[in-house]
Amino acid sequence: MKKYWHNCHIATMQNGRYSIIENAALITEAQQIQWIGTAADAMTQLDLSTAETIDLDGAWLTPGLIDCHTHSVFAGNRSIEFEQRLQGLSYAEIAAQGGGIMSTVRATRQASESELLLSARQRIEQLRLEGVTTIEIKSGYGLDYLSERKMLRVIRQLAVELPLTVKSTCLAAHALPPEFVGRSDEYIDYICTEMLPKLHAEQLVDVVDAFCEHLAFQPEQVERLFQAAHALGLPVKLHAEQLSALGGSSLAARYRALSADHLEYMTEADVQAMAQSGTVAVLLPGAFYLLREKQYPPLESLKRHGVAIAISTDLNPGTSPVLSLRLVMNMGCTLFELTPEQALAGVTLHAAKALGIETQYGSLEVGKKADFVAWKIQHPAEISYWLGGDLSKRIIRHGQEVLF
Ligand code: NIG
Ligand code: FE
């Protein structure tokens, strides 16, 4: 069905800029944007007689929001660790005592697929209410074949049950499972030769990720994983330079990673490598804020080298129990000195690039998917400006209005 959406203004986010069209209109058909321009041109150029007409009442349209880094499937929560951190323990100390990621692994291994599905749905519902139409979700709280498979099946099922585009990332190299203590090389071998090929054969994996950190895996180990991923034809991304500088982001760039994420401790050489490879820098202000991190990512250098910057909730039970992408946009501005325009690019075009889907998603252009939010605001900067609350809006995915 052809639809004519009019009486609106559009921030198309083409090229990662607002790229505003005032007094705009667009035509969608078969899930796609077929035409976009000014209302005046629409009246003179188009035959609208067969189209359903939708009056947007002066709203501002932006692309549907994309949350490009989440761990939103997990069991339990870690509010106790939040309390411990505020009593003076660090994230690394809590992990060394058997808490941290391992405590979520224990809970997730015990949970059934339907329990995981239900709790993930409830969290993702919060994101969707804010205008999220695409999400990336990682495994990484299973750390054995059956438990990772359980998580990835839940991720695939979410895409079936919700009007949401979902990218599934295998993060089996998130932490060393207890069965492999003292044998981290063997765990990486197990992922490369058994777990990943099997999960890939079941079509459960879109991208491969790892946690490159002293409390997780070394760059040499990550490199072996990246080689195994590439041998299967899978793109890679990496948690890099979150707590220390190991050169993970340069490694990611060498393997043409879609993104390197966190990046607080990255060096100038890492920035240059990422600029050259076109790897997106995914900044995670929620984890930065909740860990009360003092080290800032090299914001000025990233901008100077023209590295595309995305931002995301990093929704996870340990470092970032954040259920609002708009809050992250605000934090991106106040903590990481992004302009509201850059923050919006960070959850639209640049987030799409971090998922390798920028030819179809992330900006409002002819031929791309008709995913957009119609906000009742005076200017798109308001999406980052208001802290909390629910801006009134309509959400359209694949040309269809999403109802809650
Ligand atoms: O992105 N850095 C590693 N992974 C997550 C945290 C996972 C957890 O603590 O459960 C992150 O911050
Ligand atoms: Fe993460």
- Tokens, residue 161: 């049950």
Does the pLDDT at position 202 exceed 90? yes
Residue of 74, 244, 316 best suited for mutating to test ligand 1, as the one with most atoms within 8 Å of CB:
316
Find out whether the beta carbon of 223 lies less than 6 Å from any atom of ligand 1. Answer: no
**Torsion region of 138: left, alpha or beta (phi above 0 gives left; psi -120 to 50 gives alpha):** beta
Average pLDDT, stretch 376-397?
95
| Distances 48 to 5, 34, 54, 262, 285 between C-alpha atoms, Å | 11, 13, 12, 47, 45
**Ligand having the closest approach to the CA of 286:** 1
Find out whether the beta carbon of 78 lies less than 6 Å from any atom of ligand 1. Answer: no
CA–centroid distance, 53 to ligand 1, in Å, is 45
Does the pLDDT at position 390 exceed 90? no
Average pLDDT, stretch 168-197?
98
Average pLDDT, stretch 2-18?
98
Q: Which atom of ligand 1 is nearest to the CA of 314?
A: 1
Q: How confident is the model at residue 67 (pLDDT cuts 50, 70, 90)?
A: very high
Q: Which atom of ligand 1 is nearest to the CA of 317?
A: 10
pLDDT tens track for 345-371: 999 999 999 999 999 999 999 999 999
Q: What is the pLDDT of residue 73?
A: 99
Does the pLDDT at position 309 exceed 90? yes
**Binding-site sequence positions:** 69, 71, 78, 141, 174, 239, 242, 314, 316, 318-319
CA–centroid distance, 242 to ligand 2, in Å, is 10
% of the chain exceeding 90 in pLDDT: 99
In the chain the domains, ranked by start, together with CATH numbers, are 2-63+363-401 (2.30.40.10), 65-355 (3.20.20.140)
**Shortest-distance Cα residue to atom 8 of ligand 1:** 318
Find out whether the beta carbon of 318 lies less than 6 Å from any atom of ligand 1. Answer: yes
Q: What is the pLDDT of residue 303?
A: 97
Find out whether the beta carbon of 242 lies less than 6 Å from any atom of ligand 1. Answer: yes
User: What's the mean per-residue pLDDT of the chain?
Assistant: 97
Note the Cα 262 to chain centre separation in Å: 12
pLDDT tens track for 69-121: 999 999 999 999 999 999 999 999 999 999 999 999 999 999 999 999 999 99
Average pLDDT, stretch 145-155?
99
**Shortest-distance Cα residue to atom 1 of ligand 1:** 314
- Tokens, residue 317: 């039970």
**Ligand having the closest approach to the CA of 319:** 1
Does this model's pTM top 0.95? yes
Show the DSSP H helices in 191-336 as ranges.
Answer: 196-201, 219-231, 248-254, 268-277, 285-290, 299-304, 325-334
Find out whether the beta carbon of 313 lies less than 6 Å from any atom of ligand 1. Answer: no
Find out whether the beta carbon of 101 lies less than 6 Å from any atom of ligand 1. Answer: yes
CA–centroid distance, 219 to ligand 1, in Å, is 17
Average pLDDT, stretch 213-229?
97
Q: What is the pLDDT of residue 389?
A: 87
Find out whether the beta carbon of 250 lies less than 6 Å from any atom of ligand 1. Answer: no
Q: Which atom of ligand 1 is nearest to the CA of 101?
A: 10
3-state secondary structure 131-176: CEEEEEEECCCCCCHHHHHHHHHHHHHHHHHCCCEEEEEEEEECCC
CA–centroid distance, 365 to ligand 2, in Å, is 30
Does the pLDDT at position 392 exceed 90? no
